[in-house]
Amino acid sequence: MSPLALAPAAQDLLFREARTANTFTDEPVTDEQVQAIYDLVKYGPTAFNQSPLRVTLVRSPEARERLVQHMAEGNRAKTATAPLVAILATDHEFHEELPRLVPHAPGIGDTYFSERTVREESALLNGALQAAYFVVGVRAAGLAAGPMTGYDPEGLRKEFLDADHEPLMVVNIGRPGEDAWFPRSPRLPYEDVVTTV
């Protein structure tokens, strides 16, 4: 009996066989697919149930052209041709939503997150967690994700966000195209990572 409850096919879909895609087919990614992804991954745990992740879907050709200008050279072609691109960012004013996300602890936002620097640190950690859940959710939808951090963050913020939002990553989304994968890079073995005390 396997020590994992998840079926082997699901393990492969989410982790073992999943790869960062570099090319995509032209099959569209629908709003319904994106909503299903979000409605699954929103249940991933965060501190104080905060939800700092914000997602900007870049669909129009004009917006895509503006986005590509802020991507690193090696990321431009794949960003220009992916069926859908999502900008994942954190909202530094996430504490304003805490009354409805943590109704059993009124005032928690004022108690813990009244200072901007504290909110920024918390939003970075918890937004990154939510971004990772989002990438796994894309895989759960049977799609490939190409998460990237090679871009001009200030340019991206000015073009698509505002001073209260910090870009985390840009994710190309779609069905993998021809020669979509680089060879699988090694991973550290268990004994190099896990220590028991």
In total, how many domains does the chain have? 1
pLDDT at site 98? 96
Each residue's pLDDT tens digit, 103-160? 999 899 889 999 999 999 999 999 999 999 999 999 999 999 999 999 999 999 999 9
Each residue's pLDDT tens digit, 23-68? 999 999 999 999 999 999 999 999 999 999 999 999 999 999 999 9
Inside any domain, residue 122: yes
3-state SS string over 73-137?
Answer: HHHHHHHHHCCEEEEEEEECCHHHHHHHHCCCCCCHHHHHCCCHHHHHHHHHHHHHHHHHHHHHH
Inside any domain, residue 56: yes
Inside any domain, residue 6: no
Q: What is the pTM of this model?
A: 0.95
What's the rounded Cα separation, in Å, for the pair 196 and 118? 32
Inside any domain, residue 183: no
pLDDT at site 102? 94
| Termini Cα distance of the chain | 28
User: How far from chain centre, in Å, is Cα 37?
Assistant: 11
For residue 24, give the CATH number of its domain.
3.40.109.10
Whether the Cβ atoms of residue 19 and residue 184 lie closer than 8 Å to each other: yes
pLDDT at site 15? 95
pLDDT at site 2? 86
**Where in the sequence is the domain holding 102, given as residue range(s)?**
13-176
Inside any domain, residue 1: no
Inside any domain, residue 188: no
